[in-house]
Structure 1
Amino acid sequence: MTLSSKNPPASSALAGSAQTRRTSPFLRQVARIVDWPMAALQRLIGERRMPYVFLLPNLFFFGLFVFVPIAINFWYSVTGGPALFPSERPYVGSGQYSYLFECGSYADPSSCREDHFWRGVYNTVTFSFFQVVAMVGLSLLTAVVLNMKIKGRGFFRAVYFFPVLLSPVVVALIWKWILQRDGILNAWITAMGGDRVLFLTEPTWAMFWAIFVSVWSHMGFYTLILLAGLQAIPSDIYEAAEMDATPRWRVFWRLTLPLLWPNLVVVIVLALIRAVQTFDEVFVLTGGGPGTSTLMVVQYIYETAFSNQVQNFGLAAAASVVLGIVLFALTLAQLAYTQRKSS
């Protein structure tokens, strides 16, 4: 005779109730200890304000590690001098910002007083435009292919997402090993009878490979977002289009893209924010060179603040405030668009 899993043996049931009797008084005592101050606090401030009490610890640490550094950074941006401690830095008002934006022509970085900052701005804009276009296009293409019924679909989904799990520094070091003058790619080119190509020491090639490595390492994340959006589209729509003998390109253009557009907007904004903040991969891959051809805004901020030759904390803080305002505007644009679509 077998015992059903729904009816455990009497011995185990008795053991369970005995354990409950042993632990229940202790737990009830703990509950009373915790409940008394909370009940008193609830009577004092009201039930509706109680959620804020539980949020206070998180808000405290969030403010300590986010808002306080932002405030300190802003104070550095309106002060000058080489001193590190805020109390020892003289107030200069908008002097750091005026220095950054003092240009003969904004279309010509060499006419600006702080030309490295504006070269970083132009390089970041160039990098962001081509990187986001390539990222969104390739992620969309990959998501569409991986959404089809192909052999080894699960394997390829894992393969495309794997680079996201790697550290950006590790990714950059791997590609630097491949692309350097005596690297794997040049070894293959010379073995085929060609000449070595200086991939990382020619400005055009350096920017191209910086964009390529960034797309390669982050494409899997955005592919996953678009793939989730594709799988959320009802299959009945495609079945109706197939019954009407609608061409595939028209189904994609008229049905898939409009239904996938909310996910595409998220991908575009996230990819743009990531591209504007890029630093680690490009810094390890090219170091901002050759010259300043791949110098990005974040690298400019880092070198201005911590380079032994410059070490201008106020100017670096002002540049980071400008960058923060740009990122904040992009975030607000995404939120406004998302709320408008959901309403």
Structure 2
Amino acid sequence: MRLLSFFFNLLEPFFRLCQRWLGLSRLGWLFVGPNLLVFGLFTFLPIVINFFYATSGGVKLMPLERPFTGVENFQTLFQCGNYLDISTCNRDVFWRAILNTLKFSVLQVTLMLVFSVLTALVLNRKIMGRGFWRGVFFYPVLLSPVVVALIWKWVLQNQGVLNAGLAAYGMQPVEWLTDAGWAFFWTIFVSIWAHMGFYTLILLAGLQAIPRDMYEAAEMDRAGPWRTLTRITLPLLMPNLIVVVVLAAIRAIQIFDEVFVLTGGGPGSATTFIVQFIYQTGFAEQIHLYGLAAAASLALAAFLVVLTLAQLRLTRASEQGRKGR
């Protein structure tokens, strides 16, 4: 304590001088300044650099060696002879990655929402070991996505645990990760398994915020479980459901870690998603096309901004609807 008091006594003249120069109303900038500096250095500066790379060409990494090309990279990505046939597109892998991402997002978010709601409803009831089961469902969220993918890759690989179990019953092993259909299925399954606990926690908090007397009134009116669910639980849970849908959609669109470790984007381009395409174009291929990768990342960022604004609008509309009732 004496050492800490001595340290603060040394700093007191400095803060008094800063207060005299800046004034009391602007003294707060002295404390948030270091955080703003770090935030600008590692967030805003990369965004500015990304805009520069998206509007420049060549394969050189240094900015001074890259010529300005304007929107040429965006034209290269979005140029197609027939948008209904991605094989006619200049960068057909980019469009295939978009289609894969949309398909993955719709399936994964829908299933994630259904399983999260069901799990939250069960965990909100008075069941034996409720605290334990809540911890079990949330535990995968604490794991690194790479660790999750490595565990499931160990299970699903050709000589993995799952095929060993099939062989024990005299069945033929299945190419879980090298068959296009199965690989896509397991990317969805692993993603749901890894992140469902987080969304279940959000919905569980919403369920616990619903007044208990509303259920008691419904019980007195002899409302059935389905009517109680559709007329009380889901409407009052709607703000949480909107948050879950938008957060899950953003996470699904940005999927990379699990898929990169699990399938590497294969077989072929069956599990190549948009972030995987950005990584491969900018860093993994023999010729590093930084401009195309930056342009694709900006297109992805624009879509995510639109999605976030839609979430804010839906949340505001939901809140106004609840107040108007």
Report how far residue 55 of structure 1 moved: 2.8
1:50 to partner: Cα distance: 4.2
Give the alignment of 1:236-315 within 5 angstroms: 236-315=213-292
Query: Which residue of structure 2 lines up, in the alignment, with residue 6 of structure 1?
Result: none
- Where in structure 2 are the equivalents of 1:1-343 lying within 5 Å? 29-30=9-10, 32-43=12-23, 47=25, 49-342=26-319
Deviates more, 1:190-199 or 1:221-230: 190-199
Unaligned runs of 5+ in 1: 1-18
Q: For 1:69 and 1:38, locate their aligned partners in 2 and report how far apart those are by CA, in whole Å.
A: 31
What RMSD over aligned residues (CA atoms) do the two structures have, in Å? 2.0
**Post-superposition shift, 1:51?**
3.7
C-alpha displacement of 1:243: 1.2
Partner letter of residue 33 of structure 1?
P
Contact 2:239–2:319 at 8 Å: present in 1 too?
no
Deviation at 1:331, TM superposition (A): 1.4
Does structure 2 conserve the Cα–Cα contact (< 8 Å) formed by 1:78 and 1:94?
A: yes
Encode CA deviations 1:26-83: one digit per residue, 9 max, x unaligned: 588447414422331344xx62x44444333222211111010000011001001111
C-alpha separation between the residues in 2 aligned to 1:41 and 1:256? 56
Q: Distance in 2 between matches of 1:315 and 1:169?
A: 26
How much has 1:335 moved relative to structure 2? 2.1
Change (3 A) 1:42 1:309: closer
Q: Which runs of 4+ in 1 moved over 6 A?
A: 22-25
Structure 2 CA distance for partners of 1:198 and 1:41, relative to 1, 3 Å: same
Deviation at 1:156, TM superposition (A): 0.5
Question: Structure 1 residues 36 and 222, CA, compared in 2 at 3 Å: closer, same or farther?
Answer: same
Letter in 2 for 1:272: A
TM-score scaled by length of structure 2: 0.93
Q: Structure 1 residues 28, 66: CA separation in 2 closer, same or farther (over 3 Å shift)?
A: closer
Cα gap change, 1:268 to 1:114, in 2 (>3 Å): same
Cα-to-partner distance string for 1:250-276 (whole Å, 9 max, x where unaligned): 001000001111011111110000000
Contact 1:303 1:310 (C-alpha < 8 Å) held by counterparts: no
Give the SS at the match of 2:164.
Answer: helix
Name the % identity.
56
Q: Which runs of 5+ in 2 are unaligned?
A: 321-325
For 1:145, the aligned partner's letter is V
Q: Indicate if the aligned counterparts of 2:59 and 2:287 stay in contact, CA closer than 8 A.
A: no
Alpha-carbon distance between aligned partners in 2 of 1:224 and 1:276, rounded to the nearest angstrom? 21
Once the two structures are TM-superposed, the CA of residue 193 in structure 1 deviates from its matched residue by 2.5
Q: Residues 291, 32 of structure 1: CA spacing in aligned structure 2 closer, same or farther, 3 A cutoff?
A: closer
User: Please, which moves more after superposition, 193-202 or 127-136?
Assistant: 193-202
Distance across 2 between alignment mates of 1:28 and 1:201: 62
